[in-house]
Structure 1
Amino acid sequence: MTKAPFPKLPRGLGLRQRQRADGTWRLWWEPSAEQRKHGVQVVELDPNRPTWSKREAEKLKTGQAGEPARRTASGGRTIDALIAEYMRSPRFKSKIKPKTQDGYRADFRVISEKWGSQPVALFDRPVVYTWYETLYAKAPTYAGKIIRSLSVLFSYAELIGWRPENSNPCFRLSLEPAKKRSRSASWAEYDALIAAALKLGRPSMACAIALATFSASRQADVVSAELEAFSEMELPGDDDAATQKVWVWAYVRSKRSNAALIPVHEEVAPYIGAQKDTARKGQTTLLINDTTGEPYSGDLFRAHWQDIRLLAAKKMPTLLHPVLQFRDLRRTFGVWSRAGGAMKEDVGDVLGNSAGTDWQLGEVYMPAQLTTAMRAVGAIQRPKAKGRKTA
């Protein structure tokens, strides 16, 4: 026999509980007679979360919970059923990248927890906007993200006939735009991160930090970087008869699926060289876990990054105020390159705003693009130490 959600039910909220034959408990909210006149019906609550259920009952009693105004037979077309249909569809499996799929799954779990049993057809804009405002009060950026994922579901519901055309209740809600991050690292913070990675015995993470900073690359691309993707290329020099050799990293960006051909900065070259020199037999990725010798998973990489940041923050507390995220290293490239005199267009070539579609077929246009990328990468120069004499 399991314990009752409430030893004694709170009075005046409409909460009800009953033990089933198998020993489990049912917890639900019953509307008042006046609410029933307006079509409001019973709402199931969670017996395993009595505190949350009590808050929901308080909102339902005052009409602030954002529940659909009425509940009718859904024919099985609930939010949970819609999520399942969408995740089984080729639209989800084939057209959305695995990393993005993971993000949707996380959002869908939140949506399911709140609305799983509700009929898809009964949602309207006021219901969705009320929920958005509730989420926004706690986490503004996260609120917009959840509503956008909910919008994806409702758009799919229209395609499969579960809602009328052009009836997506998430449209035209005038959501607050997400605040753009402006955080970038200072040279002192960068040096502290590198030193912390090496002190913890994680040279592969030092390489990852350097590579992300000096190539403006995303975490997914850094983690999956292939050993064979780093090679030496010959380019025309200033003199038409001369050539120059340049180490480059050639890959396809995970987010936009466009080609990248990034010159290797002198700051990151030693770390890449060390990884290549110590590569194990059969190793294909540039970075592997320094302890296990296996490629990094996303979770393990993030855990190591957090450990490194915490250690580095003992020397550079600014790393936590505001907190520097790994993705901010990409922005750091742009800040440092522009500070060194690079043009926005050149920086854009490294960031991926104007790269080609196939670097292997880029014999005509890629040398020019690589030249602009070299200008952006080469513009980053470590500041001279104060008091150091120069010739």
Structure 2
Amino acid sequence: MTTHFDFTKPKIEALREPKPGERLVYHDTHKNAAGLQLRHSGNTKTFFIQKRVDGKPERVTIGKFPDMSIENARKEAARLSALIAQKINPNTDARALKTETTLQELFDEFLKHRRNKRGAFLSEKTKRSYRYDFGLYLEKWGKRQLSQFKDTDFGKLHAAIGKEHPTTANRVIAMASSLFGYAAERKLFKGANPAHGIKKFPETKRDRFLQSDELPAFFKALAEEPNDILRDYFLMALLTGARRSNVLEMEWTQINLARAEWRIPTTKNGEPQTVTLSPEAAEILRNRQGCHAVWVFPGTGATGHIVEPKKAWRRVLDRAGIDNLRIHDLRRTLGSWQAKTGASLAIVGKSLNHKSPSTTAIYARLDLDPVRESVERATGAMLAAGGLKESGVIVPIKKKA
């Protein structure tokens, strides 16, 4: 084979083995080669460039094949050639020794400055989720420079995670793709996004909600919960249909009991939401007044409010004999019972603060009166099915004596 050719992986892999002590050198003829060469000695193939610096020949090692892809080697060759053109010696000058951005540096930058489509910074909840996934799956690559990533890195990671956790695999790859997309926007990375275009695993959307025959046992199990803060939290999540993070972070300044409304300043959609409070939900809040100056559901941790009460939720489900029910399913339960009691999809969407291009215009025309009526009708139906009230009768939900 000629010593001058357009580098491709198959061609490099097909190079003849050098004789003992022999060093073979090949030159890349690609239009973006930037002087890239390959040295083949023994079992090692090394990318490098050779330029004249201050009139003297200087060889700068770039990386080893196949650990470094050809595309990334060309990018690094171009970067180093640009430095040499500025009379900077990559082998000795501290300015050149400053490596490019690493994945960890990118992640830290991303959390600080990333904004969503509406221009808002990432919420603390989203940051916690990103940190958890990054620490579990991507931190092992934290010191790797961005140009050193290959498509196969994320393809293999996605496949490995997806063997047991397909939804998590999709989420991690989506985060990685967002990271590299952000890097490209900030001119921290050039080239194709290595996490983009990976075929996602199919995900089955949950349709789980509390059925009529489950409600009596569920309400009985809640009434027997010894921790009144957690009991009331679960009830509030069910009766308002709000996202669990918003219920956890509910503050008294957001509550207007006179108007039976809860104003959430910022939701997952990045917009505020006014939640109508049914008489039963308002009664729970009245009973909680005076428990804490700031938080409706106070906790002992750093946040000041309770955080994901998984153990208490497990206790409730065990007492009720209910399986496969998540706290988020309480939100779906209210929406499902609204639909069962005659609410339109627009009304349900308005009450749950769902957003989609096809419904946004409809939501904008709706005031809270039909939403309130729907929520109260659904609440009444759930409580009646649970054996706690007759139709049209308001019954406070209290701890069982």
TM range (shorter): 0.5 to 0.7
The letter of the residue matching 2:313 is: R
Aligned to 2:99: 75
1:248 equivalent in structure 2:
261
CA distance, structure 2, for counterparts of residue 82 and residue 384 of structure 1? 52
Match of 1:208 among 226, 233, 240: 233
Name the structure 2 match of 1:105.
131
Q: CA contact under 8 A between 1:227 and 1:285: conserved in structure 2?
A: yes
CA contact (8 A) 2:278 2:376 kept: yes
Counterpart residue identity of residue 333, structure 1: L
Cα gap change, 1:310 to 1:188, in 2 (>3 Å): farther
Counterpart of 1:264?
Answer: 277
Equivalent residue, structure 1, for 2:250? 225
Q: CA RMSD of the aligned region, Å? A: 3.8
Is the 1:207–1:268 contact (alpha carbons within 8 Å) kept by the matching residues of 2? no
Distance 1:335 1:187, change over 3 A: same
Q: Per the alignment, do residues 107 and 346 of structure 1 end up closer, same or farther by CA in structure 2, a change over 3 Å counting? A: same
Q: Which amino acid aligns with 2:280?
A: E
TM-score computed with the length of structure 2 as normaliser: 0.63
Structure 1 pair 108–343 and aligned structure 2 pair: CA distance change class (3 A): same
Q: After superposition, where does 1:192-341 map in structure 2 within 5 Å?
A: 192-232=217-257, 247-276=260-289, 279-280=290-291, 283-289=293-299, 295-298=304-307, 302-303=308-309, 306-318=310-322, 320=323, 322=324, 324-341=325-342
**Are the aligned partners of 2:335 and 2:348 in contact in 1 as well (CA < 8 Å)?**
yes
Cα distance in 1, alignment partners of residues 346 and 286 from structure 2: 29
Task: Measure the CA separation in 1 of the matches of 2:199 and 2:187.
Answer: 26
Match for residue 125 of structure 1 among 131, 148, 151: 151
Report the AA paired with residue 133 of structure 2: D
Q: 1:118 deviation in Å?
A: 2.7
Between the two proteins, the alignment pairs up a number of residues equal to 298
Shift of 1:345: 0.9
Alpha-carbon distance change, 201 to 147 in structure 1, aligned in 2, over 3 angstroms: same
Deviations 1:269-295 (A, max 9, x none): 33222112xx14x61222224x89x94
**SS of aligned partner of 1:371:** helix
Correspondence for 1:86: 110
Q: In the alignment, what sits opposite 2:29?
A: none
Deviations 1:137-191 (A, max 9, x none): 12101111111111122112223333225x1122222222433222212355455
> Is the CA contact (8 Å cut-off) linking 1:252 and 1:259 kept in structure 2?
yes
Match of 1:370 in 2: 368
Local SS of the residue matching 1:379: helix
Q: CA deviation at 1:252?
A: 2.6
Distance in 1, matches of 2:162 and 2:68, equals 19
| Residues 1:67 and 1:151: Cα distance change in structure 2 (over 3 Å) | farther
**Aligned to 1:268, what secondary structure does the other structure show?**
helix
Q: What is the one-letter code of the residue matched to 2:321?
A: P
Offset, 1:384: 5.2
Distance of 1:339 and 1:178 partners within structure 2: 26
Give the alignment's TM-score, normalised by structure 1. 0.64
Q: CA deviation at 1:330?
A: 0.7
For the structure 1 residues 133 and 124, does the alpha-carbon distance in structure 2 shift closer, same or farther, using more than 3 Å as the test? same
